Structure 1
Amino acid sequence: MSTIRITKQFSFETGHALYGYDGKCKNVHGHSYKLSVTVIGTPISDTTNAKCGMVIDFGDLKKIVTEEIVDVFDHATVFNKNTPHVELAEELAKRGHNVLLVDYQPTSEMMVIDFAKKIKSRLPKNIKLFALRLQETDSSYAEWVASDNA
């Protein structure tokens, strides 16, 4: 049986600020992120299995990514918890805003590393995360590829 890669795409809106950055992104701003999740495996060959012919049901992959990433990050503002942005985060949270404090600078590069860890922990044993692509703007994205991180 052949090894196959499948990809599902997701979208979400997230705000962030990069503390200590020397450009405009030091200011609180947001992006319409697009996340492509590619997994790799062998299609199920058991004809008695309702998911015969699938590497993983797209619905099952959607559930994992939605619970781990989209539902958490959509319409949230992300700050590094180890910066003075914590004061701003606390004030926003008091006012009912969805604020996430992470232990990294919330760049696309660091977010995609975080996302890879979260998704990998939820995949069935026979399915491997192959790659993630987190698109921040129409012309800018970060990629995580399993073979680069072996």
Structure 2
Amino acid sequence: MSKIRITKQFNFETGHALYGYDGKCKNVHGHSYKLSVTVIGEPISDTNNVKYGMVIDFSDLKKIVKEDIVDVFDHATVFNKNTPHIELAKELKDRGHHVILVDYQPTSENMVIDFAEKIMARLPKDIQLHSLRLQETETSFAEWFASDNL
């Protein structure tokens, strides 16, 4: 049986700030992120299985990514919990804003690593995460490939 890659795309809005950065991104700002999730596996060959012919049902992949990433990060502001932004984060939380504190600098590079770990933990054992592409702007994105992280 052939290995097949399938991809599902997601969109979400997230704000962040990069503490210690020497450019504009040190200020709180946001992006309209586009996340492409590609998994690899063999299509189900059991003709009695309702998912016959699928690597994974797109709706099952959507459920994983929505629950662990999109629903968590959409319209949130992300700060590194080890920076002075913690004071701003507390103020925003106290005013009812959705704030996420992470243990990394919230760059696209680090976010895509975090997302890969979250998705891999939820995939069925016979499906592997092949790659992620997190697009921050029309011209800028970070990619994660399983083959680079063996």
TM class by shorter chain equals over 0.9
For residues 82-141 of structure 1, what are the alpha-carbon distances to aligned partners after superposition, in whole Å with 9 as ceiling and x for unaligned?
Answer: 000000000000000000000000000000000000000000000000000000000000
* Residues 1:44 and 2:39 aligned together: no
TM superposition shift of 1:56? 0.1
How many pairs are equivalent? Answer: 150
Q: State the SS of the aligned residue for 1:105.
A: coil
- Matched residues in 1 for 2:35 and 2:79: separation? 20
**Which residue matches 2:96?**
96
**Which residue matches 2:3?**
3
Q: State the SS of the aligned residue for 1:39.
A: strand
**Which residue matches 2:134?**
134
CA RMSD of superposed structures (Å): 0.2
**Which residue matches 2:82?**
82
Write out aligned runs for 1:104-119 (5 A): 104-119=104-119
Q: Which amino acid aligns with 1:37?
A: V
Q: Which amino acid aligns with 1:52?
A: Y
TM superposition shift of 1:18? 0.1
Q: State the SS of the aligned residue for 1:63.
A: helix
- Matched residues in 2 for 1:2 and 1:92: separation? 50
**Which residue matches 1:124?**
124
Q: Which amino acid aligns with 1:48?
A: N
The structure 1 segments of at least 4 consecutive aligned residues displaced by more than 4 Å after TM superposition are: none
* Residues 1:143 and 2:143 aligned together: yes
Q: Which amino acid aligns with 2:27?
A: N
Q: With structure 2 as the length reference, what TM-score do the two structures score?
A: 1.00
Q: Which amino acid aligns with 1:45?
A: S
Where do 5+ consecutive residues of structure 1 fail to align? none
